[in-house]
Structure 1
Amino acid sequence: MIPAPGDGWSRLSPRKLLLDPVKAIGQAVVPVVVAVVGISQSDSGFGWVVFPVLVIGPLVFGALPWLTTHYRLTDTQIQVRSGVLNKNTSTAPLDRVRSVDLEASLLHRVLGLQKVQVGTGVDDDRITLDALSAADAQALRTTLLRRREAAVVVAAPDASTEDLPDVAPRPPAPAPLPVELARIDWSWLRFAPFSLSRLVLLAGALGALSQFGDNLPIWNEETARSTWDWLAQFALVAVVLVLSVAGLAAWLVVSVAGYVVQWWRFLLVREHGSLHLTSGLFTTRSITVEEAKVRGVRMTEPLLMRAVGGAELSTLATGVENGVTQVLPPCPREVAVGVGQAVLEHRGPLTDPLVAHGPLARRRAWFRELREALALVVAAAGAAWWFDISWWWVAALAVVLLLAAAAVGESSYRHLGHALAGDHLVAGSGQLARIRTVLETDGIIGWVVSQSWWQRRIGLADLVATTAAGDERVLLRDVRLDVGVALADAATPGLVREFLEP
């Protein structure tokens, strides 16, 4: 029988009564405005009745989560129950807690609240408490992480002491102090313009703006023609130069501002057997990744960032959402290597040279890119024939595409490679970006060897190490079949040995 609230159960912060109604009103503002406009244009006399319902309804529904949500900690579990008609009770054993993440939006921070998300490593299900006071959230996080450690110790007693007579228990050892692995250095801002990840957001914003731009009265054929005639009065080179400088300036502002907003007060520490990351200007994040579940790291060097000596670092872990957690912002490569080595507790996997896959792998890398370029050239030729466009444009496009495909193919091959560094499998990949993935061999749960018809003819294969961490697979592309099988046997002895025997 579940105890009644008050018998060890606690409510969320009363300030949640201010948080949820504001969020509910924000979500309902559009329907409310539509309903009010519709009622005001009708002749019915229900306006004075419906209007208070439309305003008070979101407030009432916003207050329900605080009234119906309770949580408590027992010696072995964290328990949360909620719901009005459909009661829901969520529990998680303390020894199964894998992460305790804190998040606070701008509204949370104004009210002094934080959202707590407890991960147990079962799919993406999390126990969420939204919202606790900042002090209570921090205390709950510390308590859960320490009780998780205590539960693991109790579950696995030292066998050498089981037969000893009862003695007075030793006092608990003091918790080790957090070890700082990295913190924000604002000189790293120089890498922000060379990270193109925010171009997706900028393109999305332009796409949304274009939806409204089509309806503007200035966007018509006459206006476009007059604008072009006005631009034609100036030198075309000057117009292109001005537009390029303006676009570059806008990108600098967007990229630097986005970097500051996301990585403000960034700090990465090791504590309670976990990696703990905090950052954020408006919405603060506090992410915890249990080190026992970290199976490797991934260092990414995008093309532009590599030219200025920058890199990014992510961990590959089991039991966390998406499996891949970025633990460093764009930063100097030596910083990413240093933090990666600290996480792996092993030197070499991120810096040692890789074993090349040979000239046949280079030929396949070139062929893949040239095949895609030729497909585009054929499509351009078909369009030129259909629309009666000069074939000189098709020839120029073909030259550009083929040269670009050759460059990308060579880049893809140069990033290709593999190594076995002690108990770590290292895989190099990437087309323009150079990616090095390091995976603990203990985290490999199987191997998949696949060969296309062309690969079988030249003795190559794609070797995939399957794992529960990260993207659940690490690919070694176009490796010689005998080399790949020998590598798999060396990384996981006995797992593929039967395939080596005649």
Structure 2
Amino acid sequence: MTPDTAVRHQDHADHDAWGRLNPRLFLVNLSVVATPLATFGATTVITGGEINLQVLITFASFLITCLVISGISTMRLLTTRYRVTDDRVELHKGWFFRSERSIPVDRIRSVDLTANPIHRIFGLTSLKVATGDQASSGGGLSLDGLSARDAEALRRQLSELRHARQGLATADPDTDATLAELDWAWLRYAPLTLWGVGGVFIAVGSVYRTLHEMKIDPLELGIVKDIEDRFGSVPLWYGILVTLLVIVVIGVAGSTATFIEGWGGYRLDRPETGLLRVRRGLLVTRSVSIEEQRLRGAEVAEPLLLRWAGGARLKAVASGLGDEDENSSRSRLTPPVPLALARRIAADVLGETVSPTTAAELAPHPRAALRRRINRALIWSVLLAAPFVGLGLWLTPVLVHTGWITAVVLFAVGVAFAFDAYRNLGHAVHGPYLVTRAGTFTRRTVAVQRDGIIGWSITRSAFQRRAGLLTLGAATAVGNGVYKVRDVRVGDGLAFAEETVPGLLAPFIERVPAGR
């Protein structure tokens, strides 16, 4: 055997060598047992050391479950093998139930990295190879427990293979491909969300249910009794006001903490030609990649409070991001940022001078669309006030007056929202993009490439038929699947569909001869 032949054989052997998960994953598996121990300790503190049989049974069940999970994870550590060849990535795992998966390099759409706090303590990360299948059990594979260095090297290797097979060049490492980085001034937008307040109620409900399962009455705990004694002597309105204030303060703190954890270290860049990458997370780090050739548009979302403060969020409209839940998480390109910045990033991402979500001249919708929203506000006002009036006719006239006042107030607020929702309606064809806007509690402006529209859906409720309106849905294989143009006149909607994608809707339209 010649030296050159020996070298070639050695390179081939190294190339086909099977890799394994990092042994430090065993320590991560053992840390799972710490959860029931910490829960038992917290319960002991809350109850003042009084532990009943139900608590012991719950603790033992929880501990056994965690031990089983730890054992399964350890088995995965011992049996998982992977390797990368010239044209595919392979994964073998399992002992009693063996699983083998092989994915061609050409089908890889993204390689994402995620590391939770426990993984980060031991210098590990999880790597997920996505193929873009919509089904949750579809293609793709994941390696949970690689060292951070090995995971990054594997991601780079797969990227180079993919680019080599597609004939694309990699990015120049000396070129600054950064599109956006975290600015802590954006933290002012964090409290402008309802999730923080909602999270308070979810947390309280979860704690109450857990204690209730342990046969512990939360209302009998010492801390609850102390709060009850403190507020028992104050007027009811004062107690309610203080309670609401505490909930709001905790909610704001929760929203701010969520922003810091979810978007700490945020960076949007192009690490290589044809690829967008979003890196974010303070405790749980995430690195999400989106192929630009699968990017079909952008969505600027403006929740109500955020819109009043001049902020917005930007999402990618792309294929290959997985099922609905994965798409919702992986399509986020920015945290809440100033609206002007969201529009600028949208233009950069789409390769446009000005984002089509900004440049498009949106056509207004007919006044019938406004009447529909006002009627909806009236109906909801009556439905919500009706119980007060009904009980008042039976019990006391005070409730009748309360019902009428409630109806008037709700109707006034509803009309204001109706006008806002009507003003937000709009649609247009802007170059290669279909642009549509709608929503009041969250105003969404979406630009999607017209050549990505594969069909139209037309819906008309009974009220829409009476008003001569329809809702036109552009069906695509990207993003949310269907992007709607709401409440347009029948003729205008059909003409708009024809202008957007000529010939797609024509076979399904019956033209009425003139004079009929």
> With structure 2 as the length reference, what TM-score do the two structures score?
0.82
Percent sequence identity is 33
Aligned to 2:151: 137
SS in structure 2 at match of 1:91: strand
Please give the alpha-carbon distance, in whole angstroms, between the structure 1 residues aligned to 2:419 and 2:88.
54
Q: Secondary structure at the match of 2:167?
A: helix
Is 1:329 matched up with 2:335? yes
| 2:134 pairs with 1:115 | no
SS at 1:428's partner residue?
A: strand
Cα offset, 1:226, TM superposition: 6.0
Aligned residue among 350, 363, 367 for 2:357? 350
Residue 81 in structure 1 maps to residue 86 in structure 2: no
Residues 386 and 175 (structure 1), Cα distance of their counterparts in 2 relative to 1, 3 Å cut: farther
Counterpart position of 2:260: 260
Q: Give CA-to-partner distance per residue, 1:472-492, whole Å, 9 cap, x none.
A: 110111011111111111111
Corresponding position of 2:234: 231
Deviation (angstroms), 1:309? 1.1
1:298–1:437 CA contact under 8 A, matched in 2: yes
Q: Secondary structure at the match of 1:19?
A: helix
Match of 1:169 in 2: none
CA contact (8 A) 2:304 2:440 kept: no
Residue 453 in 1 paired to residue 462 in 2?
yes
* Mapped contact 2:89–2:102 kept (Cα < 8 A): yes
Shift of 1:318: 1.1
For 1:107 and 1:338, the matched residues in 2 are separated by 37
Which of residues 478, 481, 488 is equivalent to 2:487?
478
Pairs within 5 Å for 1:405-484: 405-484=414-493
Q: Secondary structure at the match of 2:357?
A: coil
1:391 aligns with 2:400: yes
How far, CA to CA, are the matches of 1:406 and 1:393 in structure 2? 20
| Alpha-carbon distance in structure 2 between the residues aligned to 1:222 and 1:18 | 42
Contact in 2 for aligned 1:427/1:475 (Cα 8 Å): yes
Which deviates more, 261-270 or 240-249?
Answer: 240-249
Q: What secondary structure is seen at the aligned counterpart in 2 of 1:419? A: strand
Cα 1:487–1:72 change in 2 (3 A) is: same
Flag the 1:147–1:224 CA change in 2: closer, same or farther, 3 A.
closer
Which one-letter code corresponds to 2:184 in the other structure?
W
- For the structure 1 residues 449 and 15, does the alpha-carbon distance in structure 2 shift closer, same or farther, using more than 3 Å as the test? same
Partners of 2:454 and 2:413 in 1: how far apart?
38
> Superposed, which structure 2 residues align to 1:103-252 within 5 Å?
103-123=114-134, 124=136, 125=138, 126-153=140-167, 175=172, 177=175, 179-211=177-209, 212=211, 214-217=217-220, 229-232=232-235, 246-252=246-252
User: What whole-Å deviation, never above 9, does each CA across 1:148-202 have from its counterpart, x for those lacking one?
Assistant: 1222239xxxxxxxxxxxxxxxxx7765646111100011111111122333322
Structure 1 residues 296-375: aligned runs within 5 Å: 296-321=297-322, 322=324, 323-324=327-328, 325-346=331-352, 347-352=354-359, 353-375=361-383
Partner SS, residue 219 of structure 2: coil
Contact 1:25 1:58 in 2 (8 A): no
- The one-letter amino acid paired with 1:328 is T
Tell me the residue number matched to 2:281.
Answer: 280
8 Å CA contact 2:276, 2:291 repeated in 1? yes
Kept in 2, the 8 Å contact 1:181–1:268? The answer is yes
One-letter amino acid of the structure 2 residue matched with residue 350 of structure 1? T
How far does residue 247 in structure 1 lie from its aligned partner after superposition?
4.4
SS at match of 2:434: strand
1:372 Cα offset (Å)? 2.2
AA matched with 1:208 = S
Contact map agreement 1:370 1:405 (CA 8 A) in 2:
yes
- SS of equivalent residue, structure 2 residue 334: strand
Shift of 1:7: 5.5
Mapped to 2, the partners of 1:338 and 1:57 lie a distance apart of 50
Residue 330 of structure 1 aligns with an amino acid whose one-letter code is: P
Superposition deviation, residue 459 in structure 1:
2.0
Distance 1:8 1:178, change over 3 A: farther
Higher mean alpha-carbon deviation, 87-96 vs 217-226, is at 217-226
1:378 and 1:222, CA in 2 relative to 1: closer, same or farther beyond 3 A? same
Structural mapping, 1:287-298, within 5 Å: 287-298=288-299
- Structure 1 residues 349 and 226 mapped into 2: Cα distance closer, same or farther (>3 Å)? same
- Partner of 1:14, secondary structure, is coil
Q: CA deviation at 1:229?
A: 4.9
Distance 1:458 1:7 in 2: 67
Deviates more, 1:440-449 or 1:11-20: 11-20
Preserved contact between residue 111 and residue 127 of structure 2 (Cα < 8 Å): yes
Equivalent in the alignment of 2:4: none
Query: Matches of 2:94 and 2:124 in 1, distance apart?
Result: 21
Shift of 1:320: 0.8
Q: CA deviation at 1:467?
A: 0.9
Kept in 2: contact 1:266–1:279 (CA 8 A)? yes
Task: Report the 3-state secondary structure (helix = DSSP H, G, I; strand = E; otherwise coil) of the residue aligned with 1:289.
Answer: strand
Contact 1:5–1:70 (Cα < 8 Å) also in 2: no
User: For the residues of structure 1 that align with 2:337 and 2:221, how far apart are their CA atoms?
Assistant: 44
Deviation at 1:221, TM superposition (A): 13
The 3 A distance-change label for structure 1 pair 274 and 229 is same
Unaligned runs of 5+ in 2: 1-12, 44-51, 58-62, 512-516
Partner of residue 8, structure 2: none
Q: Secondary structure at the match of 1:128?
A: strand
Instruction: Tell me which moved more, 408-417 or 53-62.
Output: 53-62
**Partner secondary structure for residue 342 of structure 1:** helix
Q: Do the aligned residues in 1 keep the contact of 2:390 with 2:400 (CA within 8 Å)?
A: no
**AA matched with 1:215:** P
Distance 1:270 1:121 in 2: 20
SS of equivalent residue, structure 1 residue 305: helix
SS at the partner of 2:365?
A: coil
Q: Is the Cα–Cα contact under 8 Å of residues 192 and 306 in structure 2 kept in the other structure? A: yes
Offset, 1:337: 0.4
Q: Which deviates more, 349-358 or 465-474? A: 349-358
Q: TM-score scaled by structure 1?
A: 0.84
Of 467-476 and 365-374, more deviation after overlay is shown by 365-374
Q: State the alpha-carbon separation in 1 of the partners of residues 69 and 464 from structure 2.
A: 61
1:469–1:384 Cα change, 3 Å: farther
Match for residue 100 of structure 1 among 86, 107, 111: 111
Moved more, 474-483 or 428-437: 428-437
Alpha-carbon shift at residue 79 of structure 1 (Å): 0.7
* Contact 2:427 2:485 survives alignment (8 Å): yes
Amino acid at match of 2:85: T
Measured against aligned partners, the alpha-carbon deviations of 1:212-256 in whole angstroms (never above 9, x if no partner) come to 485332699999986555113xxx787666556544443332222
1:294–1:317 contact (8 Å) kept in structure 2:
yes
* Structure 2 letter corresponding to 1:357: H
Go from structure 1 to structure 2 and tell me whether the alpha carbon gap of 1:228 and 1:396 turns closer, same or farther (over 3 Å shift). farther
What is the aligned partner in structure 2 of residue 71 from structure 1? Answer: 82
Following superposition, the deviation at residue 385 of structure 1 comes to: 4.1
